[in-house]
Amino acid sequence: MKGFTLWFTGLSGSGKSTLAHRIEEILLERGMKVEVLDGDVVRQNLSKGLGFSKEDRDINIRRIGWVCHILTRNQVVAIAAAISPYKAVRDENRRLIGRFVEVYCKASIDALKKRDPKGLYEKALRGELKNFTGVDDPYEPPEHPEIVVETDKESIDESVNKIIRTLELMGYIPAGESSEDYSAEEEEKIKKRLKDLGYI
Amino acid sequence: MMEKILVIGLDCATPQLLFEQFAPDLPNLRALWQKGTKAKMLSTIPPITVPAWTSMMTSKDPGQLGFYGFRNRAGYDYENLYFANARYVKEKTVWNYLNRNRMPALCFGIPQTYPPKPINGIMVGCFLTPDKNADFTYPSELKAELDQAADGDYIIDIKDFRTDKKDRLLEQIYVMTERRFKAFRHFYKKDEWPFAMMVEMGIDRIHHGFWRYFDRGHRLFEPGNKYENAIRDYYIFVDRKIGELLNELDGKTSVMVVSDHGAKRMEGAICVNEWLAKMGWLKLKDHPQNQTKFKMEMVDWEHTRAWSEGGYYARVFCNVQGREPQGRIPPSDYEKFRDELKAALEAITDESGHNIGTLVFKPQDIYKQVKNIPPDLIVHFGNLDWRSAGSVGTGKIHIYENDTGPDDANHAQEAIFIWNVDPARLKQKKELISIYDIAPTILQFLGIDPPEDMIGKSLLK
pLDDT of residue B294: 94
Cβ contacts of B405 on chain A, cutoff 8 Å: 196, 198
Q: Is B395 left (phi over 0), alpha (psi -120 to 50) or beta?
A: left
**pLDDT exceeds cutoff 90 at A121:** yes
Domain of residue A143: give its range. 4-196
What's the gap in Å between the CA of A83 and the closest CA on chain B?
A: 25
Same structural domain for residues B258 and B402? no
Q: Are residues B248 and B395 in the same domain?
A: no
Residue A200's pLDDT is 80
pLDDT digits (tens, 9 = 90+) for A35-46: 999 999 999 999
Range of the domain at B379: 268-406
Q: What radius of gyration do chain A's Cα atoms show?
A: 21
Does the pLDDT at position B401 exceed 80?
Answer: no
Q: Convert the pLDDT of each residue in B38-73 to its tens digit.
A: 999 999 999 999 999 999 999 999 999 999 999 999
- Flag whether B249 is in a domain: yes
Give the whole-angstrom CA distance, residue B129 versus residue B148. 19
Q: Which chain A residues contact residue B138 at CB under 8 A? A: 31
Mean pLDDT, range B3-28, rounded to an integer: 98
Q: How many CB pairs under 8 A join A and B?
A: 87
- Asked whether residue B21 is assigned to any structural domain, the reply reads yes
Mean pLDDT, chain B, integer: 95
Dihedral (Cα; B434, B436, B438, B442), 10-degree rounding? -140
Interface test with A, best of B92, B100, B102 (most A CBs within 10 A): B100
Quick one: pLDDT at residue B406?
59
Share of chain A above pLDDT 70, in %: 98
Number of domains in chain A: 1
> Do residues B211 and B69 share a domain?
yes
B135–A178 CB contact, under 8 Å: yes
Does residue B83 lie in a domain region? yes
Alpha-carbon gap: B1 to the closest alpha carbon of chain A (Å): 23
Give residue B128's pLDDT band: very low, low, confident or very high (50, 70, 90): very high
Shortest alpha-carbon distance between residue B375 and chain A (Å): 14
pLDDT at B43: 98
Pairs from B237-241 (Cβ < 8 Å, separation ≥ 24): B237/B174, B237/B177, B238/B10, B238/B177, B238/B200, B238/B202, B238/B203, B239/B25, B239/B26, B239/B27, B239/B28, B239/B29, B240/B28, B241/B177, B241/B178, B241/B181
Query: Domain of A121: which CATH number?
Result: 3.40.50.300
Res A176: pLDDT: 79
Same domain, B248 and B308: no
CB contact under 8 A, B311 and A176: no
ipTM: 0.89
Same domain membership, residue B326 and residue B182:
no
* Dihedral sign of CA atoms A45, A47, A50, A52 in order: negative
Instruction: Assign B320 a pLDDT band (cuts: 50, 70, 90).
Output: very high
Name B269's bridge partners: B387, B399
Rounded to a whole number, what is the distance in angstroms from the first to the last CA of chain A? Answer: 40
Q: In what order do the strands lie in the sheet with B4-10?
A: B137-138, B121-124, B105-108, B195-200, B4-10, B253-258, B414-419, B37-42, B432-434
For residue B456, is it within any domain?
no
Q: Residue A194 has what pLDDT?
A: 87
Tell me the whole-structure pTM to 2 decimals. 0.94
Q: Which residues of A are catalytic?
A: 84
Is the pLDDT at B1 greater than 80? The verdict is no
Q: What is the CATH number of the domain that holds B190?
A: 3.40.720.10
In chain B, how many domains are there?
A: 2
Chain B residues with CB under 8 Å of A29 CB are: 96, 99-100, 119-120
Residues B220 and B332 in one domain: no
